[in-house]
């Protein structure tokens, strides 16, 4: 399956399964850098119709409408940007060793709610806890260190950099924060799952980058279920 088909399937699944489909449509419209007016013109609709869908004032669109909206996203991108946005998602057809799970949320989740749901403990003191996240990546810390390089690093971020990177299987947490520190792309929050200890340097780097660093010791299976459940609440 090519990138276009995989992405279309991904967007369709998110919209139709989302408890707030309007917000999910808005999320993807924004990701493709398309205005409501552009989308409405492509679909030969009034901009107010798009606004009503996104705000929830209009009943959730059916499968046929969702399909037309996705075709509009891809069609406008091809016409306006020669497929530039689509090309950003080429990573979705490749598997990155060390990624245990990855998911996009249908709407933004406040970091404070996210941390509380994971029974997490905040280690940093100078970081912004007022931001939101739009997805998570659960990472085998040992495996990712052995296989990742500068090219494949972007695969950790899925569809959005506004996400949580959760590392499991780490001892001290120094290497993940060093990697995050030197790379220009930053996550919204970093979570260490059941680390042996946390190196003070990791906390210093997190504070310096204004990235909340959190630890949780709930069982891995429970952690995965909770991470997925955030997108269904």
- pLDDT for 233 equals 61
pLDDT score, position 99: 81
pLDDT of residue 59: 86
Same domain (yes/no): 28, 123: no
At 130 the pLDDT is 81
Whole-angstrom distance, CA of residue 40 vs CA of residue 63: 17
Kindly list the averaged pLDDT for each block of 10 residues, start to end, along the chain of length 233.
78 82 91 94 94 90 91 94 83 64 83 92 86 88 65 66 89 85 87 92 93 94 89 68
The whole domain housing 23 covers 3-87
pLDDT computed for residue 216 by the predictor? 94
What CATH number did the domain enclosing 58 receive?
Answer: 1.10.260.40
Check residue 28 and give its pLDDT.
92
- Which pLDDT belongs to residue 97? 66
Residues 19 and 69 in one domain: yes
| pLDDT confidence of residue 184 | 80
| pLDDT of amino acid 153 | 62
- Reduced to 3 states, what is the DSSP secondary structure of residue 188? coil
d(CA 108, CA 103): 13
Could you say which of 70, 87, 104 is where a domain stops? 87
Work out how many domains the chain is built from and give that number: 2
Query: How far is residue 226's CA from residue 231's CA, in Å, rounded to a whole number?
Result: 9
DSSP letters, 39-81, are HHHHHT--HHHHHHHHHTSSPPP-HHHHHHHHHHHHHHHHHHH
Q: What is the pLDDT of residue 229?
A: 86
HSE of 226, CA atoms in CB hemisphere, 13 A: 17
């Amino acid at each position: 399956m090519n990138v276009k088909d995989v992405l279309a399937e991904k967007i369709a699944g998110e919209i139709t399964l989302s408890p707030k489909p309007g917000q999910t449509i808005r999320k993807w419209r924004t990701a493709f850098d398309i205005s409501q007016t552009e989308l409405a013109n492509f679909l030969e609709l009034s901009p107010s119709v798009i606004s009503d869908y996104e705000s929830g004032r209009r009943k959730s669109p059916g499968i046929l409408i969702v399909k037309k909206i996705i075709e509009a996203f891809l069609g406008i991108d091809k016409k306006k940007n020669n497929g530039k946005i689509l090309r950003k998602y080429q990573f979705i057809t490749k598997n990155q060793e060390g990624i245990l799970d990855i998911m996009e949320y249908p709407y933004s989740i406040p970091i404070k709610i996210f941390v509380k749901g994971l029974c997490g403990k905040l280690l940093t003191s100078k970081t912004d806890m007022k931001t939101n996240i739009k997805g998570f990546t659960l990472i085998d810390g040992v495996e990712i260190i052995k296989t990742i390089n500068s090219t494949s690093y972007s695969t950790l971020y899925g569809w959005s950099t506004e996400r949580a990177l959760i590392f499991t299987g780490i001892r001290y947490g120094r290497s993940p924060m060093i990697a995050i520190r030197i790379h220009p792309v930053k996550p919204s929050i970093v979570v260490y799952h059941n680390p042996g200890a946390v190196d003070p340097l990791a906390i210093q780097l997190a504070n310096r980058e204004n990235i909340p660093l959190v630890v949780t010791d709930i069982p891995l299976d429970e952690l995965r279920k909770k991470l997925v459940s955030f997108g269904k609440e």
